[in-house]
Structure 1
Amino acid sequence: MTFLILPANIKFVKPIINPNQTMKKIFLIALSMLGMTAYAQNPQVKTANGTLEGVKEASGIVSYKGVPFAQPPVGDLRWKEPQAPKNWTGVRKADHFGPQAMQRYIYSDMQFRSDGKSEDCLYLNVWAPPRAKGSKLPVLVYFYGGGFQAGDGSEYRYDGEALAKKGIITVTVNYRLGIFGFMAHPELTAESPHHASGNYGLMDQHAALVWVQKNIAAFGGDASKVTIGGESAGSMSVCGQVASPLSKGLFRAAIGESGSLLGNLSPTPRADAEEYGVKFATSIGARSLADLRKIPADTLLKWSARGHFGTDVDGYFLPETPQAIFAAGKQMDVSLLAGWNSAESGPNGILGRSEPTVDNYKAGIERLYKDRAQDILGAYPAATDADVTQAATNLASDRFIAYATWKFIDMQSKTGHKPVYRYFFNKRRPIMANAPAGAVEHSPGAAHASEIEYALGNLPTNKVYAWTPDDFKTSETLQNFFVNFVKTGNPNGNGLPLWDTVKGSKFMVINQDSRQQPIADAKRYAVMDSFFNK
């Protein structure tokens, strides 16, 4: 819509009705002589902290990028829980992504659009359908993956435009990573009003969810219809948010793609995490927390490559282990849609560089499991050499992340009361776009993280692969499952295959011919449980 901006002292005694072309020209000439111009106004929303001006995309979707949801966690706020954002005056442009969290270049498949890299990284992005204001639309808040060491809400594969076209509001959230987001230390615990340290990245996500509750109505969203989702570390984050007592009432449903904070991925006890933090500080010559806070961010990032920082049972965000919280039914009672991919890890995770033979498979299992090798072979059998690749892929995938995802589904279905839906994504990506003639895809299945572009409708943003009609069909199905779940807490809808809950002993296989199947892998996870369910 075009608006004409007039000085306050310009008044019209009578409006001009149906002016002819000559009168229009005279009118515009007069305006130009007064120094006035006609322009197309960008969309604006008024949040609790000030007015934002977004961008109307070519599709009609309205986006607001680089929106601050907390104060910059710099200086004395390094390693503190996020503080409420400050107000601003005037109109803040929200037309580009904010900086990504401090991180090293680890994963080649991460393609950022962020405004550089900085400790000042606590920004989120919103995509809304046209004319969404006042609509009370359901909302998806999505957390990126990257092992809590890398990732950003600006990645092409997380873009929220495609799902917004289907009638929901989508939000991506930045959170602190690595040493900046997950270091624990006794001095941090001592200075904390909650006597806790670590998990700052998870608390960033929590702060973003609080922001959504306060502000999403301004964008046309319904704060009572929020679903959280994420992949890998993002799915682990979803599990953590479901477990945390701080999250009560902030969302009504959750989507977990390959990951949780249960089983083999359970957080470290705080005392152990604190001890690790002290050892790291000593190794870089930092004698105190004050010394650590004085180290420039780039230097600290470089030095942190020698360590690894992840989640801990901090005593505040996670007052107990997630396993104990879920076992007691203290987690949020929300609907859950979760699952994993068919090749989260490859057979080399068991075989190493050995050929896929039965003898080599048994030797690999004996090396890993010693006196429990027969239990594993019974749950992951390979009678012939032809069976080895699949059996080794299953075991390697479970050891990596699939078992932990199953544990999330299993515990939520047992101690929660809302519906739980399980999927298995097995659509292999096609060959690469620049592959030579006759090339074939050698992956044993759908690789870790490969479902993201399908689920969020972003296949066209990934130019690496030569996508086929079957890929787009799979994507459309998975998008619709996700959108239905965000809208209603149930993935089922017109034109989609029926999807029962796990209490009906069924799960959904996602590919170009998606269909439901009976659950038949209970023996595998019972054996895995015997190692971690203690």
Structure 2
Amino acid sequence: MIAKLLGVGTALALLASAAAAAAASPPVVTAPAGAVRGAAEGEIASFKGIPYAAPPVGERRWRPPAPAAHWDGVRDATRFGAACIQPTPLVQSIYSADLGRTSEDCLTLNVWTPDVAGKAPVMVWIHGGALVTGSSKETLYDGARLAREGVVVVSINYRLGVLGWLSHPDLSAESPANISGNYGLMDQVAALEWIKRNIASFGGDPDNVAIAGESAGGLSVLYLMSSPLARGLFDRAIAQSAYMISTPELKQARHGAPAAEAAGAALARALQAPSLRVLRGMEAQDLTDRAALGGFATFGVIDGVVLPRQIVEVFDRGEQAPVPVLAGFNSGEIRSLRMLAPPAPGDAAGYERSIRERYGDLADEFLRLYPSSDMDESILAASRDALYGWTSERLVRSQTAAGRPSYLYLFDHGYPAADTAGLHAFHASELPYMFGNLQRTPPRWPAIPDTAAEAGLSDAMVAYWASFVRDGRPQAVGSPAWSPYGDDRAFMAFRASPVPGVNLFPGMFPLHEAAVQRRRAAGDQPWNWNTGLASPRL
């Protein structure tokens, strides 16, 4: 009838217009937590700023996360929530980005989904920033490109700095478990619990979840793999530039770090805060800035409950989450993090003398791997390997030994703007490629060329990552097969294109494993950034 009245062409045009309008209409999801209205981004739907826990403000500051209140009606989910409170930046870097409004009311997450009626694998992204800075709203972490590969992507906020990781004797006293600290980690667990309950409404499979993170997000992945509270909430793990460092213990000084409660009590005295009431009454931004300027060190805490033991010990005992892992690091990690590298001595002889004093019978092997002939490059490489290379390989070795096929990578890709700045394959430079966001980098980030070659590398990495999230095997059509780590120490190098290899940096892992084991045995030495020329005597 419509065709007769209007003509076939006009009728088809109206039908097409109606279909386009329907496709562009805002998607609405009714989940157990409540109904939300998102935004259509082409074939992807996004939902942003969804609260997964109650605001940790006032008397709820420094308490475990509580469930978010159920809301009535349909909640607008078209805008990111506030970033968590973090120190006011004193300098700008290639990582600096405008995060907009910050607030203590920040425990929100964002979802990108290819099909709200589907049952897709889920990737939960945990942002980096030394547990002090960062946000799920950063443009690098936009999940639309990965969602187009059939993955539901969730990015989360969690409490940062002193507001997320403070231990104090009075906080422990008010806890039923007599513990404090790790609030940011408990936030991450609460987000995973929310995802378990709600993600099916967004087209995600709650029984096929991968956690993923870079830098402090990678450290968070290790914490979650080590925490009994997170057991059963994820099925795979991706750890990019993670670091398996020593961690302060709650009530005693060990491994060269003061007891976390003692450090918190010292901070309270420095802030002239004689009680929790005074601390909880301090304005959040002022408290955060003063704590950061006062040298508050933001780490997890070995409390026997949330984190039962040092991460290394958890893995040695086989008590970590028994899941497949994809892990790796960048060849130029320290090029953009030179504050982590010790200064070079005046000459090669001084370099060699210092290494021999510190490494003893391990010194010959250290100097073979990191010779004095190019001290700057050796210092960068030694710092990289002791933190990120050793951690990545230890992680895949542990999971492989536990019968979980795992995969190692090295990101070694450069491009003109980065290489000219001396930043070849710098820390976090893989992120735009594996997220597929080459043109969505922070303002001071070395610009990535808009070329087919760069897009091709990104497409391959997106496919590998999405495939691993899907079934634990990284595969990409048209790209080389990625073999699991095994006796040949197989890995994938990402250079101009993916290149498979074996036996990455021969000798690297045994040297740093031996150094860490000696520090553990000593009991009074941390294993973190104090390596090479900054190492204690082993």
Residue among 263, 269, 278 paired with 2:249: 269
Displacement of 1:113: 6.5
Instruction: Name the counterpart of 2:410.
Output: 424
Q: C-alpha distance in 1, partners of 2:483/2:59?
A: 50
Contact 1:111 1:156 in 2 (8 A): no
2:497 match: secondary structure = coil
Displacement of 1:392: 2.8
Larger radius of gyration: 1
Q: C-alpha distance in 2, partners of 1:126/1:239?
A: 23
Residue among 319, 343, 349 paired with 2:332: 343
Displacement of 1:48: 1.3
Contact 1:351 1:360 in 2 (8 A): no
Instruction: Name the counterpart of 2:366.
Output: 377
Residue among 481, 485, 507 paired with 1:502: 485
Q: C-alpha distance in 1, partners of 2:46/2:226?
A: 31
Q: Which runs of 5 or more residues in structure 2 are unaligned?
A: 8-21, 252-258, 521-538
2:439 match: secondary structure = helix
2:469 match: secondary structure = helix
Contact 1:142 1:171 in 2 (8 A): yes
Q: C-alpha distance in 2, partners of 1:350/1:154?
A: 30
1:142 match: secondary structure = strand
**Change in CA separation of 1:247 and 1:49 when aligned onto 2, cut-off 3 Å:** same
Residue among 438, 446, 449 paired with 2:425: 446
The one-letter code matched in structure 2 to 1:207 is A
Q: C-alpha distance in 1, partners of 2:54/2:423?
A: 45
Instruction: Name the counterpart of 1:3.
Output: none
1:527 counterpart = 2:511:
yes
Contact 1:195 1:315 in 2 (8 A): no
Q: C-alpha distance in 2, partners of 1:208/1:342?
A: 32
The one-letter code matched in structure 1 to 2:153 is T
Displacement of 1:226: 0.6
1:64 counterpart = 2:47:
yes
Contact 2:482 2:492 in 1 (8 A): yes
Q: C-alpha distance in 1, partners of 2:96/2:334?
A: 22
**Change in CA separation of 1:479 and 1:270 when aligned onto 2, cut-off 3 Å:** same
Once the two structures are overlaid, the 10-residue window that deviates more, 297-306 or 387-396, is 387-396
Instruction: Name the counterpart of 2:529.
Output: none
The one-letter code matched in structure 2 to 1:465 is A
Instruction: Name the counterpart of 2:502.
Output: 518
Displacement of 1:444: 6.1
The one-letter code matched in structure 2 to 1:160 is G
Contact 1:126 1:172 in 2 (8 A): yes
Give the number of the structure with larger relative contact order, counting CA–CA contacts within 8 Å between residues 6 or more apart: 2
**Over the residues paired in the alignment, what is the CA RMSD in angstroms?**
2.6
Q: Which runs of 5 or more residues in structure 1 are unaligned?
A: 1-15, 23-37, 433-439
**Change in CA separation of 1:372 and 1:472 when aligned onto 2, cut-off 3 Å:** farther
1:461 match: secondary structure = coil
2:53 match: secondary structure = coil
CA deviations over 1:172-198 (Å, ceiling 9, x no partner): 000000001111111111111222211
Contact 2:370 2:379 in 1 (8 A): no
Contact 1:179 1:304 in 2 (8 A): yes
Contact 1:164 1:170 in 2 (8 A): yes
Q: C-alpha distance in 1, partners of 2:44/2:459?
A: 19
1:396 counterpart = 2:394:
no
Instruction: Name the counterpart of 2:435.
Output: 456
Displacement of 1:228: 0.6
Displacement of 1:49: 2.1
Displacement of 1:442: 4.4
CA deviations over 1:209-248 (Å, ceiling 9, x no partner): 1011111111111111111100000000011111111112
2:225 match: secondary structure = helix
The one-letter code matched in structure 2 to 1:362 is E
1:85 counterpart = 2:68:
yes
Instruction: Name the counterpart of 1:8.
Output: none
The one-letter code matched in structure 2 to 1:419 is P
Instruction: Name the counterpart of 1:480.
Output: 463
Instruction: Name the counterpart of 2:19.
Output: none
Instruction: Name the counterpart of 2:528.
Output: none
Instruction: Name the counterpart of 2:526.
Output: none
The one-letter code matched in structure 1 to 2:464 is F
Once the two structures are overlaid, the 10-residue window that deviates more, 313-322 or 108-117, is 108-117
CA deviations over 1:58-93 (Å, ceiling 9, x no partner): x33111010000000111111111111110101110
Identity of aligned residues (%): 34
Contact 2:389 2:509 in 1 (8 A): no
**Change in CA separation of 1:330 and 1:350 when aligned onto 2, cut-off 3 Å:** closer
Displacement of 1:377: 3.0
Q: C-alpha distance in 2, partners of 1:518/1:67?
A: 43
Alignment of 1:322-341 (within 5 A): 322-341=311-330
1:143 counterpart = 2:134:
no
Q: C-alpha distance in 2, partners of 1:287/1:267?
A: 27
1:409 counterpart = 2:388:
no
Q: C-alpha distance in 1, partners of 2:341/2:288?
A: 32
1:318 counterpart = 2:307:
yes
1:454 match: secondary structure = helix
Residue among 92, 105, 116 paired with 2:101: 116
Q: C-alpha distance in 2, partners of 1:466/1:286?
A: 48
Instruction: Name the counterpart of 1:291.
Output: 278
Residue among 343, 352, 364 paired with 1:352: 343
**Change in CA separation of 1:454 and 1:39 when aligned onto 2, cut-off 3 Å:** closer
Instruction: Name the counterpart of 2:10.
Output: none
Q: TM-score when scaled to structure 2?
A: 0.85
1:210 counterpart = 2:196:
no
The one-letter code matched in structure 1 to 2:447 is Y
**Change in CA separation of 1:84 and 1:444 when aligned onto 2, cut-off 3 Å:** closer
Displacement of 1:362: 2.5
Displacement of 1:388: 4.3
Alignment of 1:111-260 (within 5 A): 114=99, 116-129=101-114, 132-260=115-243
Contact 1:98 1:114 in 2 (8 A): no
Displacement of 1:364: 5.8
**Change in CA separation of 1:61 and 1:113 when aligned onto 2, cut-off 3 Å:** farther
1:362 counterpart = 2:352:
yes
**Change in CA separation of 1:457 and 1:46 when aligned onto 2, cut-off 3 Å:** same
Displacement of 1:166: 1.2
Contact 1:231 1:257 in 2 (8 A): yes
**Change in CA separation of 1:174 and 1:397 when aligned onto 2, cut-off 3 Å:** same
Displacement of 1:39: 12
Contact 1:423 1:507 in 2 (8 A): yes
Q: C-alpha distance in 2, partners of 1:427/1:497?
A: 16
